[in-house]
Amino acid sequence: MRKKRVALGLALAFPCAFPVTAQTRPPDGGAEAPHKSLGVVTITSGQPTSLPTRIPTTIEGVTREQIEATVNAFDSEDALKYFPSLLVRKRYIGDYNHAMLSSRASGTGNSPRSLVYADGIPLSNLLGSGVGTLSYAPRWNMVTPEEIDRVDVMYGPFSAAYPGNSMGAVVDYVTRMPKAFEASVKLAHNVQPFQMYGTRETYGATQGGFNLGSRNGDWSWFVVAERTDSNGQPLTFKTVTPSTTNAGAQTPVTGAYADRSNTNAPLLVLGAGTQYHTIQDHAKFKVAYDINPDMRASYLFGVWQNKSENRPYSYLRDASGNPVYSGTYAINGKSYNALTGTDFALSKEKLQHVMHGFSLKTHTQGVWDWEVSASLYAYGLDEKRTNGASNTTSNPLPGAGTGGPGTLGDGRGSGWNTLAARWTWRPAYTQGRHVADFGVQQDSGQLSYRVYNTSDWLSGSAGVLNNAFAGKTTTQSLYAQDTWSFAPAWKTVLGGRAEQWSVYDGRTDFASATANAASSTFTNFSRRDEFHFSPKAALSHQWRSDTVFKLALGRAVRMPTLSELYGSTNSSNSTFVNDPNLRPEKSVNAELSMERDLGKGVFRATLFAAETRDAIYSQVTYPDAASPSTTVNRVTNVDRIITRGIELAYNGFDAFVRGLDLQGSLTYADSKIVDNTGYVTTAGDTIGKWEPNIPDWRATFLASYRIDAQWQAAFGARYSGKQYRTLNNADVYGYTYQGVSAYLTTDLRVRYTIDRQWTASFGIDNLNNDQYWNFHPYPQRNYTFELKWKY
């Protein structure tokens, strides 16, 4: 309660956020605030957003200059840190597989409800949802903070130009192209002293990179390269329920830590199960050619590769002080089951993904403009090796560190591609009061994942198949949207999106019961085809010169992903299976906003609501017909969820004193399950419960102060209230492994401009050292040192 009161006090005192009028201060740092235009996004510098700014709905933005001044940014998702109602579940620097995005009414466990783009290329991984066998987080690593020109976010599915996955938010990264020769080099280091249970270590990350680009006549080009070497804190822990059985001949051990589970039951923590060391390389080449003053062709090629190792650590010690990783053991005179290779499993991954993007577009601002674009994201290499259970073989530490049996997972061949054509029509006779947008698009995806047994998990070749799943999907869409300023103070937008969705070649394979069998059982799934139409509507009214009202309505259909349909890696009688007959999520969203220009700032108040039918989650349902008392945990549909809330936001330049900028937000969301035929423990136990991973309260605060021409300082705070991870809200205790806790964390950044070429920065994230959780522990207090050179 103390954290909630402090956070709400900060937010009410400064109810701030990045405004819909996403301007920046003049490059020379002059005192005059930029012109504001309510109801639309007005760009005064840099490249424009690709979001549909004519739609009167909530769009927030941040520029490169703001990011450099206020955020200790190692990864591109750090740019979203202070946006209203957004959270990226980033656990450590370089988090490539769990950094899911959540928004007002969509939690981190339902990542396909939001979209992330970079220069029009989809970074969202819509092959799966949340955390699975493959990583289904957006491909944040394909953008570096140094190349960002601006980031914009549209809240809700109110544009017909985007598919139903926009029901949460649409994030648009715009990276820059040079106007003259430029070069820059960055070197940064992060240090995190970490203490939790039996872990007392200091972890760190080092990042180095450069940008190089130029414009010569009609040609412009840009090269980006970056390497990140990161050691994150422990993320998982081996836990057991306290035993009541007296010990016999088991090995007495010490070192276990008493704690509570997320259901507030006693447990013992035996060691850290996952701690990643990752080395990531990113390279990108962009080239553009101005065919004529009104037409540009551009091409982008990006590659990202990652090598990671996970090393567990046991807290248990025998009488001689040696770590214990296997065998039966006794704690405080009570016996416990034997530890195996899966209790402290080692793993390592090799990933190499490539991205291509091409576009040809006009920008005449005349009667017609058009664009054709294509993109490809491909898993060239996606390999995960794990020791431990290989059907009948256990491979525990310490021997597993030098090899032995395990599994080899292979995701190569997975990926997605897009092809789109768009037109904008501005009838000359309307003198700009009437604009129509329409387009066609095809989005295709392929998921293929195979797990093999191997005799040597470190470097052995693939043996017999353990399990596999695969599938393909294609969505063909047609959209149209009409913007009409039908009166001096009124504007309306009407549109719709038609989508034809197909999923085919679905298959699951499971090895026979014998570990060395060469045969497997497989299931081929029938093709599915569905058609859906999603209407959109918006209305704005300029009530006074300084006040505008906006109303937006939109329907969205989020199709199930391939992993949700076919992603089971166990047989049908296991505790978790996929569902190839999942229904799509269907959501109707609305928001009503008032924005007011206060002279040196913009204030916004937004009421939002959403009704989602057939929301896709994993839950216990469908009793076994042969054994009615047996239930199965599977991906299935939750019948109906209703979300209502309010969001307040303000952004001020030179607020109260010259040089002080204030930003922040306050959000309340009530998101409840109102109908559900499934259950977790008993029928009806999810009715009236909170939707997972959506907190009741959120708040952000960011103050940036330009001390003089050389020094700039920023202080930020973020708050998130109570939330749950389970559908029946049984996880009542959040401050533990697998719990989701409230938090209040603060950040500091100081930037010093040494001269026109050199800049140094120092920052502290989680300044107050809050120990908070989202299934895994977030970073504790950490320090960033950064040095940049630019030409």
User: What contacts 66, CB < 8 A, 6 or more positions away?
Assistant: 18, 24, 704
Q: Give the separation between CA 358 and CA 360, rounded to whole angstroms.
A: 7
Show the CA angle centred on residue 483, arms to residues 482 and 489, nearest 5°: 155
Report whether pLDDT(627) > 80. Answer: no
Q: What's the pLDDT band for 213 if we cut at 50, 70, 90?
A: very high
**398: cis peptide before it, omega within 30°?**
yes
Of the chain, the end-to-end C-alpha distance in Å amounts to: 50
User: What contacts 322, CB < 8 A, 6 or more positions away?
Assistant: none
Question: 719: helix, coil or strand?
Answer: strand
For the whole model, what pTM was predicted?
Answer: 0.91
Strand partners, 336: 329
Confidence at residue 195, expressed as pLDDT on a 0 to 100 scale: 97
Q: What's the pLDDT band for 11 if we cut at 50, 70, 90?
A: very low
Report whether pLDDT(101) > 80. Answer: yes
Report whether pLDDT(20) > 90. Answer: no
Confidence at residue 22, expressed as pLDDT on a 0 to 100 scale: 38
Q: Give the separation between CA 493 and CA 369, rounded to whole angstroms.
A: 19
In the chain the domains, ranked by start, together with CATH numbers, are 2-235+275-311+346-790 (2.40.170.20)
pLDDT tens digits for 439-497? 999 999 999 999 999 999 999 999 998 889 999 999 999 999 999 999 999 999 999 99
Please say whether the beta carbons of 726 and 685 come within 8 A.
no
Q: What's the pLDDT band for 48 if we cut at 50, 70, 90?
A: low
Q: Give the separation between CA 301 and CA 283, rounded to whole angstroms.
A: 8
| pLDDT, the chain, mean | 89
Report whether pLDDT(645) > 90. Answer: yes
Please say whether the beta carbons of 704 and 70 come within 8 A.
yes
Window from 617-626, 685-694, 770-779 with minimum mean pLDDT: 617-626
pLDDT tens digits for 170-192? 999 999 999 999 999 999 999 99
Confidence at residue 663, expressed as pLDDT on a 0 to 100 scale: 94
Please say whether the beta carbons of 661 and 655 come within 8 A.
yes
Q: What is the mean pLDDT of residues 750-755?
A: 97
Q: Give the separation between CA 389 and CA 405, rounded to whole angstroms.
A: 8
Q: What is the CA radius of gyration of the chain?
A: 27
User: What contacts 486, CB < 8 A, 6 or more positions away?
Assistant: 433, 492
User: What contacts 564, CB < 8 A, 6 or more positions away?
Assistant: 128, 129, 578, 579, 582, 616, 635
Q: Characterize the bridge pairing of strands 121-122 and 148-155.
A: unpaired
Confidence at residue 578, expressed as pLDDT on a 0 to 100 scale: 80
User: What contacts 135, CB < 8 A, 6 or more positions away?
Assistant: 96, 97, 98, 125
Residue 140 Cα distances to 76, 108, 135, 166, 188, angstroms: 6, 15, 12, 17, 18
pLDDT tens digits for 224-241? 999 999 999 999 999 999
Greater model confidence, 25 or 529: 529
Residue 147 C-alpha from the chain's centroid = 19
Q: What is the mean pLDDT of residues 551-559?
A: 97
Q: What's the pLDDT band for 31 if we cut at 50, 70, 90?
A: very low
Please say whether the beta carbons of 648 and 664 come within 8 A.
no
Confidence at residue 132, expressed as pLDDT on a 0 to 100 scale: 65
Q: Give the separation between CA 233 and CA 250, rounded to whole angstroms.
A: 31
Please say whether the beta carbons of 170 and 117 come within 8 A.
yes
Window from 342-356, 473-487, 616-630, 674-688 with minimum mean pLDDT: 616-630
Greater model confidence, 34 or 448: 448
Report whether pLDDT(34) > 70. Answer: no
Half-sphere exposure of 281 (CA within 13 A, CB side): 8
Confidence at residue 624, expressed as pLDDT on a 0 to 100 scale: 53
DSSP secondary structure string for all residues of 328-397: EEEETTEEEEEE-TTTT--EEEEEEEEEEEEEEEE---SSEEEEEEEEEEEEEEEEEEEES-BTTB---T
Which amino acid makes up residue 742? A
Share above pLDDT 90 across residues of the chain, in percent, rounded to a whole number:
77
Residue written as token pair 């009741």: 696
Q: Give the separation between CA 646 and CA 338, rounded to whole angstroms.
A: 51
Report whether pLDDT(287) > 60. Answer: yes
Q: Give the separation between CA 326 and CA 397, rounded to whole angstroms.
A: 7
Please say whether the beta carbons of 722 and 744 come within 8 A.
no
Report whether pLDDT(575) > 60. Answer: no
Report whether pLDDT(769) > 70. Answer: yes
Share above pLDDT 70 across residues of the chain, in percent, rounded to a whole number:
89
Q: What is the mean pLDDT of residues 756-781?
A: 97
| Burial tier of 575 (Cβ tally within 10 Å: 0-12, 13-18, 19+) | exposed
User: What contacts 94, CB < 8 A, 6 or more positions away?
Assistant: 74, 75, 141, 205, 228, 230, 232, 278, 280, 306
How is residue 43 written in tokens? Answer: 């760009």
Please say whether the beta carbons of 281 and 308 come within 8 A.
no
Q: Give the separation between CA 768 and CA 356, rounded to whole angstroms.
A: 42
Report whether pLDDT(6) > 50. Answer: no
Q: Give the separation between CA 433 and CA 435, rounded to whole angstroms.
A: 7
Residue written as token pair 């034809």: 500
How is residue 367 written in tokens? Answer: 């009667």
Greater model confidence, 432 or 397: 397
DSSP annotation of 568 reads -
Report whether pLDDT(8) > 50. Answer: no
Greater model confidence, 567 or 3: 567
Helix (H), strand (E) at residue 380: strand 368-387
DSSP annotation of 296 reads E
Closest CA to 134 of 381, 460, 389: 381
Where on the phi/psi map is residue 425: left (φ > 0), alpha (ψ -120 to 50), or beta? beta
Report whether pLDDT(425) > 80. Answer: yes
Greater model confidence, 17 or 282: 282
